[in-house]
Structure 1
């Protein structure tokens, strides 16, 4: 399953007398998704965009671009260019898979887990094996019953210390743990989504931290 976590890293560069905004949206092998002055461009190494931005190199960790004779390195983890300007609000961008689902990688209490965005889910929902792998303590969790596509099921209500997706980190997030292996992938429900701003642009789902 191909899921790409797309980060928004903004770099303000000077192109002649006109300021040009270049954002790294994602890395895909030897290609990189850039947003240049609001237009998304998927470039392969060696290609130049209509705006004059050339992708010199793309790896799984960074992209090197050339703008007006100036070479800059963009990464998904941290900015390295001196002219980098940090966005006022943390933002991530997710593209849909072949079924139209948005998936991403999250950190729950410091441990990694794949999640699928589900606006119909009231809270984040884990299956029991995933909860055990994440080290969630269910001994003091509140037993509850939840409604699923297969009927009423036993579950546990828990509060997560932290949930981090990209640069967005929330504390004390409500979740449920099902007593079986449903759902197969953890559902990113409204206990997280209702605390961020969401927007869709051209099929891309944008999550932004609130000030």
Structure 2
């Protein structure tokens, strides 16, 4: 009886370990931001989390991890889950690159868009080719003049139905579409940032949804 109980307990433990939920939230050189059973962990290649998940490799397109003795390849190709929650508020943590910049992946119109956090930008700012790829409708959009590092230029004011970053999803977000190729990467400006709580801690930028 005792032996059978030990076997059953062993199977239960193995089942629980196999059910561990691991999702890839960000890639930063040889490091990756993982969500493990709802907890955020930033690991460098070769490091293991307190939950026992080991990051084997991080590239620009995927991460390889070892979970419960099995290797898994994780990518950012699927929308991030709304389970990205800590202390009952959705939270995203971004690691600075070597130049001190913060980048993230956002979802607009169901498509993944790399963005660069820019607290000096008034709004989320798209270049024209990216706006076309996302299917943003500029017909009837208000035309405005905006100041850039290259001087004054024209842009169109648009309204995004939703912008999702990690578990943070905001609706009716204002954005601008520039008429040329600037900015080369979409700028995550204050029409989004002003609607979340934001702080820096040990080189990590923390964005947290408000109630």
Superposition TM-score, scaled by structure 2 size: 0.69
Residue 178 of structure 1 and its aligned partner are, at CA, apart by 0.3
Instruction: For residue 56 of structure 1, report the CA deviation from its aligned partner.
Output: 5.2
| Residue number among 52, 55, 62 corresponding to 1:55 in the alignment | 52
1:25 is aligned to 2:41 = yes
- Structure 1 position 64 matched with structure 2 position 67: yes
List alignment gaps of at least 5 residues for structure 1: 12-22, 32-42, 67-74
Q: How far off its partner does 1:157 sit?
A: 0.3
Partner of 1:146: 146
- Structure 1 position 24, deviation (Å): 3.4
Q: Taking structure 1 as reference, are residues 150 and 62 closer, same or farther at Cα in structure 2, changes over 3 Å only?
A: same
Matched position secondary structure for 2:192 = helix
Distance 1:159 1:56, change over 3 A: closer
- Determine if contact 2:94/2:205 at 8 Å carries over to the other structure: yes
Tell me, what secondary structure is at the counterpart of 1:90? strand
RMSD of aligned C-alpha atoms?
3.2
Alignment of 1:10-159 (within 5 A): 23-26=39-42, 30-31=45-46, 43-44=47-48, 53=50, 55=52, 57-58=54-55, 60=63, 64=67, 87=86, 88-159=88-159
How big is the shift at 1:141? Answer: 1.0
Name 2:171's counterpart in structure 1.
171
- Tell me, what secondary structure is at the counterpart of 2:129? helix
Normalized against structure 1, the TM-score is what? 0.69
Counterparts of 1:99 and 1:135, CA distance in 2: 32
Change (3 A) 1:111 1:78: closer
Is the Cα contact below 8 Å between 2:160 and 2:175 reproduced in 1?
yes
Q: How many residues align?
A: 170
